[in-house]
Amino acid sequence: MAAEAKLSHTAAMILQALSAGYVYGFSIMEMTGLPSGTVYPAMRRLERDELIRSQWERQSIADAEQRPPRKYYKLTAAGRATLEASRKRYPLLERLIATEEAKTT
């Protein structure tokens, strides 16, 4: 996957949300306001192109909190580079979903 792949605004928003610490599907839905039928397929494609990767939460953590384990997503290096390129393309992206660093500064 080329680092300079052009992302749609939706895919860029999802990458930005992941970068901002929203690491599972439902939280991204809540943050972006996108429906589940958009968010999850987009994450499949991003994962296929190795811009994000997923990891299951440990069972012991989920058991301790008496809930089913969740699948977490995080950006890869290629994903971070693509997000940087997308931020230049969509300058308002960071204002829509502020990252932790942006919040603290």
Partner 1 sequence: MKQPSDLLVSVFDAALLRSASLLVPSIQREEWRREWSAELWHVRRSCISVDDTFSWEAQREITGFCLGAFPDALCLRSQPAKGNPAPVHVHGSATQTLLWLSAALALCFVISRLLPGVEAETEAARYQIKPTVLLVSEAAADSTQPSISAALYQNWKITRQRFFQELAFYRISREAADAGRVSMPWNVAHSTTNLFSLLGLPIKYADQRQDTDFSLPAVILSHDVWMRSFAGDPHIAGHVLRIGHTRVRIAGVAPAGGWQLPGAPDVWLLESDAQFASEASSRTNGYLFAQLSPRGQAAMSGPGISISALNQDGTAIDMFGAPIVAPVEGPWGIYEFALFLALVALPAVTSVSLGDTHVSSHRPSMKQRLNRVVFLGAKFAIIAAIAFAASLDLAYSNTLGYSPLAECLQLLWCFTICLFGFRWAVADQRKRCPVCLRRVTNPATVGLASRTFLGWNGTEMICMGGHALLHVPSLPTSWFSGQRWLYLDSSWDFLFADSCVY
- For residues 73 and 52, the answer to whether their CB atoms sit within 8 Å is yes
Nearer to partner 1, 7 or 97 (CB): 7
Write down the least CB distance from residue 85 to partner 1, Å.
Answer: 13
| 68 to 30, 37, 43, 50, 61: CA distances (angstroms) | 19, 22, 21, 26, 9
Nearer to partner 1, 41 or 102 (CB): 41
Residues that bind partner 1 (CB under 8 A): 1-2, 5-8, 10-11, 24-26, 29-30, 35-42, 44-45, 48-49, 67-71
Nearer to partner 1, 70 or 80 (CB): 70
- Mention every residue, 6+ apart, whose C-beta is less than 8 A from residue 21: 99, 100
